[in-house]
Amino acid sequence: MVLNLSIYPHVVNNKNQLTGYFNYLMMSLKNILFLSLLSVPLSLFGVEINGQLSQGSIVSGQVDPGTTLEMMGRDIRVDESGFFIFGLGRNAPEKITLTSINKKNEKKLYIFSVHQREYKEQKIFGVPQNTVKPPSALSERIKKESEQVWIARAKINNSLDFLSGFVMPLKGPITGVYGSRRFYNGYPGNPHYGLDIAAPTGTPVFAPAPGAVELVHPNMLYSGGTLIISHGFGISSTYIHLSEISVDVGERVNRGDLIGKVGATGRATGPHLDWRINWLDVRLDPQLVMKYFPLVP
Ligand SMILES: [Zn+2]
């Protein structure tokens, strides 16, 4: 199924023309919306996008092999068959642009509408105070740990593990969702990017999809026991506050394998799993990713 939303391609030959068309397009918003209602079959224009674009979502698509793609100035990896994916962050703007250059050096500009979400506010009391306003003595440690996490998430491999779908890594009540604005012990903190699933300490956590273990850390300041698994094309999943981690870096896991146990390590008020999914450095909503890549029977 191909749903194409708000697409307005133009063939342009040089940079000035591109800018000109861009300005024109920004002024012709009505036309763009009109096209989106018609659900233009994008394949006619050389780019196919599957699914709806929303803040926090992942999307996949198809271009003619040999085409290069750029989204808002960022290169998108296109494989030999023309397949690509990209993710949209929590604050992705209302309109994003995608530029394609095919083998004949024809440049096309696409503008997409991105569904804008509203996020909840969540106030949390009782987290360790050194994780709310960390003393400066901890800043080196915080910096080092965050670098380790971003290096692990930046790994791109050719695996298509994500295509076989994602399931929940454990069952339990959902106590925190993607995107909510958070206050810790009364102080505003970063938004919440994970899906929190409450469960007693020691509850097994299972791999939601096949992948390769990229990072294992027994106790980071904020995230406690931390595990990162890559699933191909820059998609990674992160598991935090774990009390135990059952896998090692470099190991391959299959869906359903035991990867660790629920804990309350790091900045947590009680035992739960905080499960996160990224496309490279872009944080995605695990619930949208599960919908987009459901389990393939
Ligand atoms: Zn959380």
Q: How far is the CA of 211 from the centre of ligand 1 (A)?
A: 22
Question: What pLDDT is attached to residue 156?
Answer: 86
Domains of the chain: 11-113 (2.60.40.10), 121-292 (2.70.70.10)
Closest CA to 205 of 194, 213, 197: 197
Q: How far is the CA of 19 from the centre of ligand 1 (A)?
A: 42
Q: Are the C-beta atoms of 219 and 240 separated by less than 8 Å?
A: no
Q: How far is the CA of 112 from the centre of ligand 1 (A)?
A: 31
Confidence class of residue 48 from pLDDT cuts 50, 70 and 90? confident
User: What average pLDDT does range 53-74 have in this prediction?
Assistant: 94
CA dist 224 and 283 (Å) reads: 19
Reply yes or no on whether the pLDDT at 91 is more than 80. Answer: yes
Q: How far is the CA of 192 from the centre of ligand 1 (A)?
A: 6
Question: What pLDDT is attached to residue 127?
Answer: 79
Long-range contacts of 10-13 (CB under 8 A, 24+ apart): 10/108, 10/109, 11/106, 11/107, 11/108, 12/107, 12/108, 12/109, 13/106, 13/107
Q: Are the C-beta atoms of 83 and 145 separated by less than 8 Å?
A: no
